[in-house]
């Protein structure tokens, strides 16, 4: 079994992770897909296996739970040969910081930062066994600047950016390519779609389908690109963020995100049984 090469994708049951899995399977990559329990990842893995004739495995776990990342890494290292790791799993949300719970903060910090770093570290020995291997970490356009009413999320993604660029340089002579991707808004689920559609045309113009983002990221990763910003409008936004003073950006974002938060709260108050999701 160890002779077969595998690509690992975390958070593969939905959204961008699901698109990554489909794109990698289309390219003939064998997959190890992780997801939360109850997300039907087995059904998805078997569907890709049938459709693209790949060999797929799956693993259900909550990567924020103590010991879960270590158990996943041990299972992979003992059973498979891996040459690509896509750290896709992540969460975010829009809330006033005063109103967030410590559990909300832990979920973002443990998944977006700790799980990504620890899984990467534990699988590096396996990746180094290949003449060429790849690590793709998913950050966000939000990582390029602070954001009110999100606060923890962009900070966690700025960490992913910094970690990835540093690790890329450290591993330059090892044959391991480390890339970090910064997608903009994506309509990954009904809640996120509603948030995006509540913004103006400028914000909506930066959104891309998850399938297109996945294709761009995998192609750029295989080309050895260290920094990946999918979409022309997102590249333009990145350049503008370098020019516009931080304080002005914060004021502009505050008005937009405060409006988003007020709309979300209004919807929740009208439908109390609808829980606000993180992501």
Confidence of residue 279 (pLDDT cuts 50, 70, 90): very low
The pLDDT assigned to 241 comes to 82
**The pLDDT value given to residue 263:** 56
Q: Percent helix, strand and coil across the chain, each rounded to 5?
A: 55, 15, 35
Q: What is the DSSP string of 4-22?
A: SEEEEESS-SSHHHHHHHH
Q: Specify the pLDDT at position 106.
A: 97
Distance from C-alpha of 247 to C-alpha of 73, rounded to nearest angstrom: 42
What is the pTM for the complete model shown? 0.86
Tokens of 243: 């020019």
Residue ranges with strand state E in the chain: 5-9, 30-35, 56-60, 81-87, 133-138, 176-181, 227-228
63 φ, ψ (degrees, to nearest 5): -70, -5
pLDDT one-digit tens code per residue, 102-147: 999 999 999 999 999 999 999 999 999 999 999 999 999 999 988 8
pLDDT in the model for residue 254:
72
pLDDT band at 198 (very low <50, low <70, confident <90, very high): low
Per-residue pLDDT tens over the stretch 57-96: 999 999 999 999 999 999 999 999 999 999 999 998 888 9
The burial class, CB within 10 Å (0-12 / 13-18 / 19+), for 17 is buried
Look at residue 195 in the predicted model and tell me its pLDDT. 57
Note the Cα 238 to chain centre separation in Å. 18
pLDDT reported for residue 194: 56
pLDDT in tens, 200-229: 565 556 678 899 999 999 999 999 999 999
pLDDT score of 268: 42
Give the DSSP per-residue string, 227-250. EE--SHHHHHHHHHHHHS-HHHHH
Q: Which two tokens stand for residue 65?
A: 């739970």
């Amino acid at each position: 079994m160890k002779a077969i090469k595998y690509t690992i994708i975390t958070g593969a049951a939905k959204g961008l992770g699901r698109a990554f899995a489909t794109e990698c399977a289309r390219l003939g990559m064998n997959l190890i897909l992780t997801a939360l329990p109850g997300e039907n990842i087995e059904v998805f893995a078997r569907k890709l296996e049938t459709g693209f004739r790949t060999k797929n495995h799956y693993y259900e776990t909550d990567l924020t739970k103590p010991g879960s990342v270590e158990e996943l890494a041990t299972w992979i290292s003992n059973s498979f040969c891996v040459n690509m790791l896509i750290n896709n799993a992540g969460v975010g949300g829009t809330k006033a910081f005063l109103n967030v719970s410590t559990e909300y903060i832990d979920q973002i910090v443990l998944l977006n930062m700790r799980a990504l770093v620890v899984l990467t570290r534990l699988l590096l020995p396996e990746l180094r066994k290949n003449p060429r291997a790849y690590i793709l970490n998913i950050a966000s356009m939000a990582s390029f600047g602070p954001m009110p009413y999100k606060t923890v999320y962009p900070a966690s993604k700025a960490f992913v950016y910094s970690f990835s660029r540093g690790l890329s340089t450290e591993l330059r002579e090892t044959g391991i390519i480390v890339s970090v991707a910064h997608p903009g808004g994506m309509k990954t689920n009904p809640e996120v779609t509603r948030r995006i559609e509540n913004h103006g045309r400028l914000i909506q113009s930066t959104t891309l389908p998850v399938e297109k983002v996945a294709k761009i990221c995998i192609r750029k990763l295989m080309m050895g690109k260290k920094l990946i910003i999918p979409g022309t409008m997102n590249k333009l936004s990145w350049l503008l963020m370098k020019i516009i003073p931080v304080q002005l950006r914060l004021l502009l974002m505050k008005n937009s995100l405060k409006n988003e938060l007020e709309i979300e709260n209004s919807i929740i108050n009208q439908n109390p049984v609808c829980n606000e999701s993180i992501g």
